[in-house]
Amino acid sequence: MGAQSNAAPIIIKKKRVSGGDGHHGGAWKVAYADFVTAMMAFFMLMWLLNATTETQRKGLADYFSPTIPVNPVSGGGDGAFGGNNMFSEQTMVMDGSGASNKNPTEAKQARGSSGVDAKGGGKGAFEDFSSLEAQLLGRTGESLVSDKMLKHIVTRVTDEGLVVELFATEDQPLFESGTGKPTPMMRALVQLVARSSDLVTNSIAVEGHVRSAPVVLANNPVWDLSTARAQSTRKLLQNKGVQPQRLDRVTGHADRELSTKNPMAIRNDRIEIIFLRNP
């Protein structure tokens, strides 16, 4: 018979300690940091909207707009379908100016995304000049602009519309000296503008600017010269296919709106072709 053991059993008690009691861990810090970051971004956005003008915001929006080269003519005319196709304005919006320029039949043309209704009413059509601007600056896949021509073109969007500025350089004038006779470079530039103008239907204004003449001249020719060059540009546009009814005004500004501080700089010899915003 074995000896009976009087030893008490050993009991091990494990105490579980949870850290951060009363603070619920650090998850709230992450959530608070996200909230503060979002608020900072919101207030920066509000500040930027208040600090920029409408023109600057429009320029930023145009910069990020996709510029995909598309054929602007979408069909239409007096064919079998009379200009009405499955992509006309009655069914869905499409990109393109329709056949208004190729087959201008009244009320029988594919109107595309021009923003006009069946009665010809407008809704501020083609206020987005990004596609036209991209083609003039050679940003499309099928560029018509050479590097030599790009040195003479500057575009900017203003409250008046899209301004296409064609300017002379020291080695390449746009007009023969002291006359309104265009050089081959000017003819090529106007042809580019005329071909690209089919992307929109806006009216067009032509403005002539020249550099200042020496004060010793008894007869200052700047007014007549700027007007003659503007008229010469208008004729070139019409000869290259721009419809006469699209030309809204032709003006000469002499040397009253200089482009550089030096009034006699060649850079002041320029023509501005403006695609006017629709009313």
Q: Which domains does the chain have, with CATH numbers?
A: 72-125 (no CATH), 130-276 (3.30.1330.60)
Can you tell me which residue has the tokens 């265009």?
182
pLDDT value of residue 17: 58
pLDDT value of residue 66: 62
Radius of gyration for the chain, computed over Cα atoms and rounded to the nearest angstrom: 33
Bridge partners (DSSP) of residue 208 are 252, 271
Give the H or E element holding residue 144: none
Q: What is the pLDDT along the chain (279 residues), one digit of tens a residue?
A: 555 556 667 777 666 655 555 556 678 888 899 999 999 999 998 888 888 888 888 887 877 776 555 555 555 555 554 555 444 444 444 445 455 555 554 444 444 444 444 444 443 444 578 888 888 887 775 556 788 888 999 999 998 999 999 999 999 999 999 899 999 999 999 999 999 999 899 999 999 999 998 776 678 889 999 999 999 999 999 999 999 999 999 999 999 999 988 999 999 999 999 999 987
pLDDT value of residue 90: 45
pLDDT value of residue 150: 87
Q: Is the pTM of this model over 0.85?
A: no
pLDDT value of residue 65: 73
Residues 6+ apart with CB under 8 A from 271: 165, 166, 167, 174, 186, 206, 207, 208, 209, 229, 230, 233
pLDDT value of residue 71: 52
Q: Measured in whole angstroms, how far is the alpha carbon of residue 170 from the centre of its chain?
A: 28
Structure tokens at 16: 């579980």
Bridge partners (DSSP) of residue 207 are 251, 272
CA dihedral for 136, 139, 145, 149, sign (positive or negative): positive
Question: For the chain, percent helix, then strand, then coil, each to nearest 5?
Answer: 30, 10, 55
Residues 225-242 as b/e (b if ≥16 CB within 10 A, e otherwise) read bbbbbbbbbbebbeeeeb
Adjacency order of strands within the sheet including 270-276: 153-157, 161-167, 270-276, 204-209, 247-252
Residues 6+ apart with CB under 8 A from 116: 122, 123, 125
